[in-house]
């Protein structure tokens, strides 16, 4: 069990890779479906107005994102991590599913270094 707990940062890195890769993959499928154009209005409406399930998932994502963003800022400052702004930019411009697990990966490494 200790080996798992001591290497949990790799789990966060794996989530970041999957989160960024899958988000990018499906976004590119959407772009290809629209002949190479990203239709931002269709993207927004598909998450908010298609049905109540989509609205539920969208609100779940945004509330979790707000909490996670606050966590990145507060925890990054508390641990005196460098370049916490980078994780915030990655969550906006790449994917939250990439930026947040990447922050958790670096945070776990930071905590590991501080404990030794």
Residue 3 lies in a domain: no
In terms of residue numbers, what domain contains 69? 8-115
Phi/psi of residue 70, nearest 5 degrees: -60, -40
Give yes or no for a contact between 95 and 19, defined as CB atoms under 8 angstroms apart.
yes
The residue among 55, 59, 113, 54 whose CA lies nearest residue 81 is 113
* 114 Cβ contact partners less than 8 Å away, ≥ 6 residues apart: 79
Domain count, the chain: 1
Residue 74 lies in a domain: yes
pLDDT at 98: 94
Render pLDDT for 27-63 as a digit per residue (tens, 0 to 9): 888 778 777 777 777 776 766 666 777 777 778 888 9
Supply the pTM of this predicted model: 0.80
Q: Identify the residue with better confidence: 15 or 48.
A: 15
Render pLDDT for 69-94 as a digit per residue (tens, 0 to 9): 999 999 999 999 999 999 999 998 88
Residue 40 lies in a domain: yes
Residue 1 lies in a domain: no
| Residue 102 in this model has a pLDDT that exceeds 70 | yes
Taking every pair of Cα atoms in the chain, the longest distance, rounded to a whole number of angstroms, is: 53
Residue 2 lies in a domain: no
pLDDT at 55: 76
- CA 113 – CA 110 distance, rounded (Å): 5
């Amino acid at each position: 069990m200790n080996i798992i707990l001591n290497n949990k940062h790799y789990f966060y890195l794996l989530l970041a890779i999957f989160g960024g890769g899958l988000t990018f993959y499906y976004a590119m499928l959407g772009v290809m479906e629209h002949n190479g154009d990203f239709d931002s209005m269709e993207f927004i409406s598909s998450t908010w107005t298609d049905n109540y399930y989509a609205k539920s998932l969208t609100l779940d994502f945004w509330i979790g994102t707000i909490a996670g963003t606050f966590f990145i800022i507060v925890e990054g400052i508390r641990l005196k991590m460098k370049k916490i702004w980078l994780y915030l930019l990655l969550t906006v411009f790449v994917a939250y599913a990439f930026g947040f697990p990447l922050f958790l990966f670096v945070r776990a490494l930071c905590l590991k270094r501080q404990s030794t």
